[in-house]
Amino acid sequence: MHELSIAHNIVNIASTAAAEAGAEEISVVHLRIGALAGVVADALRFSFAIAAEGTPLANAELIIEEVPVTVFCPTCNTEVTLPNPRLFRCPQCGQPSGQIVHGRELELVALETP
């Protein structure tokens, strides 16, 4: 379960940011996770609670924004969101498209204090 190591990294990064900002506690952690990031959101939530114990994030809520896969279709000359992240074909014209624009993110977006 690599989500536990990801959760530990999130806690370390957020704890460092909190200390640098002079915050003693973090109440909310905002993440963006792409559909292709290979992270199971529920497993990350479970792991985050374990990793955060005894840290300034011990009581923090983890809010995850799941980012769909978006590709650039050269035929349509536009970005399109894929209804199925396993089929890299433009949903408008049906042409293959492998230029991923969004969907691989694993980003710590924001921290909130009480």
CATH architecture of 2-112: 2-Layer Sandwich (3.30)
Q: Number of C-alpha atoms within 13 angstroms, CB side, residue 90?
A: 16
- Please, what is the average pLDDT of the chain? 95
8 annotated ligand binder = no
CB environment 44-81: b (16+ within 10 A), e (fewer): bebbbeebbeebbbeebebebeebebbbebeeeeeebe
Taken in order 74, 75, 76, 79, the sign of the CA dihedral is negative
30 annotated ligand binder = no
102 annotated ligand binder = no
The whole-number pLDDT of residue 86 equals 87
Computed over its alpha carbons, how large is the radius of gyration of the chain?
17
The whole-number pLDDT of residue 101 equals 97
Taken in order 48, 52, 58, 60, the sign of the CA dihedral is negative
The whole-number pLDDT of residue 9 equals 97
2 annotated ligand binder = yes
Q: Does this model's pTM top 0.85?
A: yes
Q: What is the mean pLDDT of residues 85-107?
A: 93
The whole-number pLDDT of residue 93 equals 95
The whole-number pLDDT of residue 1 equals 59
The whole-number pLDDT of residue 14 equals 96
Q: What CA–CA distance (Å, rounded) separates 55 from 42?
A: 21
Q: What is the pLDDT of residues 34-80, one digit of tens each?
A: 999 999 999 999 999 999 999 999 999 999 999 999 999 999 999 99
For tokens 């915050």, the residue is 23
